[in-house]
Structure 1
Amino acid sequence: MTVTSELREDGIRVVTMNAPPVNALTVQGWFDVAAALEEAGRDLATKVVVLRAEGKGFNAGVDIKEMQNTTGFDALLGANRGCYAAFKAVYECAVPVVAAVNGFCVGGGVGLVGNADCIVASDDAYFGVPEVNQGALGAATHMARLVPQHMMRTLYFTARTIKAADLVQFGSVLEVVPRDQLDDAALNVAGEIAAKDGRVIRAAKAALNGIDPIDVNKSYRFEQGFTYELNLMGVSDELRDDFAGTEKSKETT
């Protein structure tokens, strides 16, 4: 897992996730993302963050293979704490976070972009929360920031995905552009923000978080409690084993 952070001369900090083959993050990977966002917020030279990814897609969620290859509950606890830290770091970053989403953005990926301040996506991007397929719960808090309530419930219960182009009508995705124009589109909107007085933008971020009707940190933490219950029941291990076996079969065919 590699997380890089580059501060440009215009005050835009570009944070890039790169965890081949599908950007499914390990426990350490989630904490690395959190650390990068926290560092960005502390640096007064940073006016706005662009959160992006290399590879096939933006984020495939938690690394299921790591979890199934770890005895006990250490990987589960680590993943839950890491996701919580990463989502929280995006939301509480002292400056706005622009998410540049390419390809798939599922599970934990939705947690990241749902807590971002602005979302730009490529025309092949789609979003989903397939947690129920793996015996886990979470990120409904963040999907609810992208779509209306009934749509969120349908996506959650069915594990369906929704195209970025369909989110434009809800106002959660600012624009959809061809894949090769994604970085430029994200940098364009980030540039508009960076051109403002940084002191005002930081105050505005704090003010908008302060009037948010939902405490996303507590809401997500509540969801995680049910994930723990499902794991103690043995349901999650059973479904993750099935998932891991299916993925292994795909790799050998």
Structure 2
Amino acid sequence: MAITSELRADGIRVVTMQHPPVNALTVQGWYDVAAALDEASRDMDTHVVVLRAEGRGFNAGVDIKEMQHTTGFDALIGANKGCYAAFKAVYECAVPVVAAVHGHCLGGGVGLVGNADCIVASEDAYFGVPEVNQGALGAATHMARLVPQHMMRTLYFTARTIKAADLVQFGSVLEVVPRDELDEAALAVAGEIAAKDTRVIRAAKEALNGIDPIDVNKSYRFEQGFTMELNLAGVADELRDGFAGTDKAGKAHQ
């Protein structure tokens, strides 16, 4: 697994997630994403961040198999805290974050993208919060930043996905481009931001966060409380076992 961060000469920092096969991040992976965004905040040479991924899709959420092969609640607590740290780091990054999304963007991926400042997507990109299928809750806070309220509830309760092209009408996705043009499109809008005086842009980012009607950090933390309740009740563990193909002893189903 690798979370890489590269600062270009034009002030654009490119943060790339790569964790085959589907970019479902481990606990450490979420903390690594947070660290990369925190580094961008501290570095005054960074004017804007492009958050992207390599592989089959942008992000498939948490690594459920890691969770089901770890005894006790350490992996669950680690994933909760790691996701919280990563989402918070994107939202509170001192410079704008442009998300370049391809393929699947699910669960925790929506948490990252929903807290970004601008979204560019490829034609094959789609978004969803399938948490209810795994006995968890979360990222409704962030999906609500992408679609209207009733659409968010429908997607949440049904675990359906929505295409990036359909999000353009809601104004949450800036543009949809062919897959091989995604990086170019993301770098183009990032370049417009990077060309501005970073002192002004950093002040603007802080100001816009300050007038947000919802505290996304507290809202997401509230959601996580229900996930913990479902885990303590044994519901989430049962559903994750089915998804990961393991029994209670952590052995793979034949």
Segments of 4+ in structure 1 off by > 4 A? none
Q: TM-score, normalised by structure 2?
A: 0.97
**Which residue does 2:60 correspond to in 1?**
60
Report the secondary structure of 1:16's partner residue.
strand
Q: Does 1:236 align with 2:236?
A: yes
Unaligned runs of 5+ in 1: 247-251
* Pairs within 5 Å for 1:114-153: 114-153=114-153
Taking the aligned partners of 2:170 and 2:195, their CA distance within structure 1 comes to 27
- Total equivalences in the alignment: 249
Structure-1 residue corresponding to 2:3 = 3
What is the Cα deviation at residue 236 of structure 1? 0.3
Query: C-alpha distance in 2, partners of 1:102/1:82?
Result: 23
Alignment root-mean-square deviation, CA: 1.3
d(CA) in 1 for partners of 2:214 and 2:98?
Answer: 20
Measure how far apart 1:245 and its partner are. 1.5
SS in 2 for 1:72: coil
Q: Counterpart of 1:46 in 2: which secondary structure?
A: coil
**AA matched with 1:115:** N
Please report how far the alpha carbon of residue 203 of structure 1 lies from its aligned counterpart in structure 2 after TM superposition.
0.2
The AA in structure 2 aligned to 1:211 is I
Query: For residue 182 of structure 1, what is the aligned residue in structure 2?
Result: 182
- The amino acid that maps onto 2:152 is M
* 2:23 corresponds to 1:23: yes
Percent identity (aligned): 88
Q: 1:212 and 1:185 mapped to 2: Cα distance?
A: 27
Aligned-partner Cα distance in 1 for 2:241–2:7: 41
Give the residue type in structure 2 aligned to 1:36. A
TM (norm. structure 1) is: 0.97
Q: 1:1-253, aligned counterparts within 5 Å?
A: 1-245=1-245
Equivalent AA in structure 2 for residue 26 of structure 1:
T
Residues in 1 aligned to 2:102 and 2:55: alpha-carbon distance in whole angstroms: 9
Matching residue's letter, 1:51? L
Separation in structure 2 between the aligned mates of residue 4 and residue 29 of structure 1, nearest angstrom: 11
Post-superposition CA distance 1:44-64 (Å, at most 9, x none): 000000000000000000000
Aligned equivalents of 1:15, 1:242: Cα separation in 2 = 33
**How far apart, CA to CA, are the structure 2 residues paired with 1:26 and 1:244?**
14
Structure 2: give runs of 5+ residues left out of the alignment.
Answer: 247-252
Q: Within 1, Cα distance between the matches of 2:214 and 2:92? A: 14
Aligned-partner Cα distance in 1 for 2:244–2:85: 25
- SS of 2:100's partner is strand
Q: Secondary structure of the equivalent of 1:133?
A: helix
**3-state SS of 1:116 partner:** coil
Cα distance in 2 between the residues matched to 1:156 and 1:89: 24
Q: Distance in 2 between matches of 1:138 and 1:152?
A: 12
1:162 partner SS: strand
Secondary structure of residue in 2 paired with 1:4: strand
